[in-house]
Structure 1
C-alpha cells in the first residue's frame, strides 16, 4: 500500500507543477481548422480491484499516441508496463499492455474513452489474452490529462498465474505533447 501512496503523492506533485507552469509553446489547441493532429502522452496510473478479486491493487506507466480525427473524436494506441499485486501474497503479475481505442470529447475538454487490446506477460508461463477498459477524463489546454476508468483483464486458463477474469478501478495522470 505504500507504493500506491507514493504513486498518488507523485501524481499530486506533477499536477501542481504543470498547473503552475503553463506555457504558450505547449498549448494543446489545434492550429489547423479541422482539428486533426498527432499527440504523444506519458502517464502513470494506479488502481484498486473489485470486491472478490484475487488481486489487491495495480500500478503502472504508459505511453499513448493519439490522432485527433476532429475536435471531437480521436484514435488512441498505447503501450506501457503494469504490475498487479495478489492479495495476501508477495507475488506480482507483470505485463506490457498493448491497446487501441477511441476517445470522444463530449463536453469541451471532457472525454469518454474505450480501449481494447492484449497484454504481453513478463513472467514465463503467464498468459494474458484480453484487456478492455472504459472511462472518462479531462484534458487541459496545457497538456495535462486526468482520467478514471474501469480496466478488465481476462487471461488464459493454461497460464501458471491463472485468475481468469478480474478488473480494477484506475486513476491515470498524464501529460500530452503535440507533434
Structure 2
C-alpha cells in the first residue's frame, strides 16, 4: 500500500512539474515536428534486495513506442526481454544451476514528463511473463512490476536510470537499471 501511495505521489508530481514547465519555459523545440517515437535499447540490471545474494547483475533488450500528447508529456508502451542471472547460475561457471535465472518478457505502459527540454521523469507499470522454470508449482507465470525513472533524451539517444520492483507470486525482486537506447522519430 505504501508503494502504491508513493507511485501516486510521483505521478501527481510529474504532471504538476510538466504544467509548471509549460508556464515557465513556454514552447520549446523538442520534437516539434515529430509526435511518434520508437526507441530500441539495451538494459543493465543490478540486484537491490538487501541481504539477498540470490541474483547477480543482469541484462536485457527493449523497444518502446512513445506518443507525445503535448510537448512536455509522452505516453509510452514497451516490450522487452530481461535476464537476471542467479548466483549459482551456469553463466557464472558453477556446475549446476540450483536457482534458475530470472527471465522476463515485460509489457509496459508508462509516461514521460519533461521538466527541461532533454530531461524527464518517467514511470511505468506492467506485467511480465516469467520463465515457467522459476516456479513450476504455480498456475500463473505472470509477474507485476512498477518502475519509476529519470532520464536524459536527445533527438537520437535516450539514457535512463530506473528502480524496478517485480512481484511474482508475492516474492519481490528489486533492482536498479540503466538503459541506453537509440530513437527513431517519425
When normalised by structure 2's length, the TM-score is 0.70
Partners of 2:40 and 2:142 lie apart in 1 by 23
Q: 1:139 aligns with which of 145, 153, 169?
A: 153
Partners of 1:89 and 1:42 lie apart in 2 by 28
Provide Cα deviations, 1:115-141, integer angstroms capped at 9, x if missing partner. Answer: 000111233537232011011010012
How far apart are residue 42 of structure 1 and its match? 0.3
Runs (5+) with no aligned partner, structure 2: 1-29, 91-99
Preserved contact between residue 94 and residue 123 of structure 1 (Cα < 8 Å):
no
Matches within 5 A, 1:1-179: 29-31=31-33, 37-50=35-48, 51-53=50-52, 54-90=54-90, 91-124=100-133, 125=136, 127-141=141-155, 143-156=156-169, 164-179=171-186
How far apart are residue 92 of structure 1 and its match? 1.2
Partners of 1:155 and 1:65 lie apart in 2 by 26
Partners of 2:131 and 2:63 lie apart in 1 by 18
The count of residues paired between Structure 1 and Structure 2 equals 142
Partners of 2:68 and 2:184 lie apart in 1 by 13
Larger radius of gyration: 2
When normalised by structure 1's length, the TM-score is 0.73
- State the SS of the aligned residue for 1:68: strand
Runs (5+) with no aligned partner, structure 1: 1-27, 158-163
